[in-house]
Amino acid sequence: MFSPHSQKKVRKSIVLTAAFLVITTGTVGVLLHADTPMTQADYEKSPLLMLEAYRHVEAASVSDAEEQLLHEKHYMSHAMQPIFPTKFAGTALTVLLKKEENKDPDALSGMLSAIDSGGPGSVYVMKVEDGADIAGMGGLMGTAMFARGFAGAVVDGGVRDLPQLKRIGFPVYATGPVPSTSVSHYRFGGMNLPLDVSGTRVNANDIIVADQDGVVVVPRQRAAEVLLLAQKLDNSEHSMYPYIEKFHSIVEAVKQFGRI
């Protein structure tokens, strides 16, 4: 048994530790409910927590969850490639560039204003019409997004200035690197419009999940539901790896865990 003096010291230590955790996390809820599984209602009430949770699931599990729940394809084509291995999740800010030869110095000003309208957690999703050989963005735009806390960018078109983007560590998916410019060849076509991007539909504020397997789009109205199933699929698959390594059988692992 602890002496009264020792018990007092232990209680004081617990209180100080708890206070430190509350201060550093900024919320009592994190301290009290760290081990409590989040529900669909919890995620729907807290979009920031939902977005943070999406940063910890695999794009493949999100894609599988959408196929099972929505019976729809919401992943982008294999043509959408990262400039370096990455993983991020955020909310879509969509931008359209329309192909049009012009001499208008303000033809692309809306594209730049769109960047300044975004902030932490935004994902810049751009559709460049017939843009495989046109850089929809480069180092200046990427630096601005990075400075504003964007999670990343997805460009259905080309990208340039890779040394600068890699230097600052700003993740970009695009159809490939090209040295060309959109200036004088394109006009800003609108912001936060529904867009068909690399084989799937993206609406403003949809959740974008990207990792080395590719890019997946989650319709905002089903995001909490999809997340819970994606987490379940992730947990199941990650449990299968050590099982397969131990018993040397994927057949038995599938029987045990019920997925492939």
1 within a domain of the structure (yes/no): no
Q: Give the residue with greater pLDDT, 202 vs 237.
A: 202
Domain that holds residue 189: 75-217
Give the mean model confidence (pLDDT) for residues 31-58. Answer: 85
Distance between CA atoms of 251 and 260, rounded to whole angstroms? 9
Question: How many folded domains does the chain comprise?
Answer: 1
157 within a domain of the structure (yes/no): yes
Give the mean model confidence (pLDDT) for residues 135-141. Answer: 98
The pLDDT, as a whole number, for residue 156 is 98
Distance between CA atoms of 251 and 235, rounded to whole angstroms? 18
CATH of the domain at 186: 3.50.30.40
231 within a domain of the structure (yes/no): no
> Is a pLDDT exceeding 50 seen at residue 239?
yes
> Is a pLDDT exceeding 60 seen at residue 11?
no
23 within a domain of the structure (yes/no): no
30 within a domain of the structure (yes/no): no
Tens digit of pLDDT for each residue in 85-135? 999 999 999 999 999 999 999 999 999 999 999 999 999 999 999 999 999
* Torsion sign, CA atoms 245, 248, 251, 252: negative
| Phi/psi of residue 129, nearest 5 degrees | -60, 125
**Angle 44-63-30 (CA atoms, 0-180°, nearest 5)?**
35
Please tell me the least confidently modeled range out of 18-22, 33-37, 151-155, 228-232: 18-22
Q: Give the residue with greater pLDDT, 17 vs 34.
A: 34
46 within a domain of the structure (yes/no): no
- Residue 133: closest CA among 180, 174, 96: 180
Tens digit of pLDDT for each residue in 45-82? 999 999 999 999 999 999 999 999 999 999 999 999 99
DSSP 203-238: -TT-EEEEETTEEEEE-GGGHHHHHHHHHHHHHHHH
Q: Average pLDDT of the chain?
A: 87
The pLDDT, as a whole number, for residue 37 is 84
66 within a domain of the structure (yes/no): no
31 within a domain of the structure (yes/no): no
